């Protein structure tokens, strides 16, 4: 949906082959053979490896990873259930970690140069609002992780960047 769909459309329009990982396959890209979907929960153990294996099986290699999956239920400190907090971090932080790890291992094992990771953050990481602690903190974590990943993966020829768009109405 929204930004993720636009990112996938942009890559496909430029001739890219795109593997989407989402909770459900919307069927939106079904008529496009250069776009495929793996369904599953990005925060679940093993799914990141499954996604990379699907890319390699279909197209031989992965060159770019875009971490765009996000969970963002609002809730104040006094009202947010712990399970909702955990879900935000499992998707936004752990999912980004697991996907980046699987992608980086693939790239390093094949000696890839000019590979890239782009993680989507949010202005909320620096400008939080009441009720948005989980989302804001998770996006700040994504930004900090990405700085560390850039230092660790740069020597392997893998660039790591963060894009922090402003508010986007995705209706």
CA distances from 49 to 95, 108, 135 (A): 11, 14, 25
Are 38 and 20 in contact, with CB atoms under 8 Å apart? yes
Whole-angstrom distance, CA of residue 88 vs CA of residue 71: 5
8 A C-beta contact, residue 28 and residue 5: yes
135 has catalytic annotation: yes
Nearest alpha-carbon partner for 21 in 99, 85, 109, 119: 99
What are the catalytic residues?
135
């Amino acid at each position: 949906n929204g930004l993720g769909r636009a990112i996938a459309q942009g890559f496909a329009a430029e001739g890219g082959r795109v593997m989407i990982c989402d909770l459900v396959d919307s069927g939106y890209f079904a008529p496009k053979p250069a776009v495929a979907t793996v369904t599953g929960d990005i925060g679940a153990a093993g799914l990141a490896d499954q996604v990379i294996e699907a890319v390699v099986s279909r197209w031989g290699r992965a060159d770019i990873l875009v971490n765009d999956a996000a969970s963002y239920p609002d809730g104040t400190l006094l009202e947010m259930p712990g399970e909702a907090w955990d879900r935000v971090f499992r998707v936004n932080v752990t999912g980004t970690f697991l996907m980046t790890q699987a992608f980086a291992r693939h790239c390093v094992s094949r000696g890839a140069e000019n590979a890239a990771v782009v993680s989507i953050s949010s202005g909320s990481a620096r400008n939080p609002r009441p009720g948005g602690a989980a989302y804001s903190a998770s996006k700040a974590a994504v930004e900090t992780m990405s700085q560390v990943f850039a230092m660790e993966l740069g020597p392997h020829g893998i660039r790591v960047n963060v894009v922090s768009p402003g508010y986007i109405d995705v209706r």
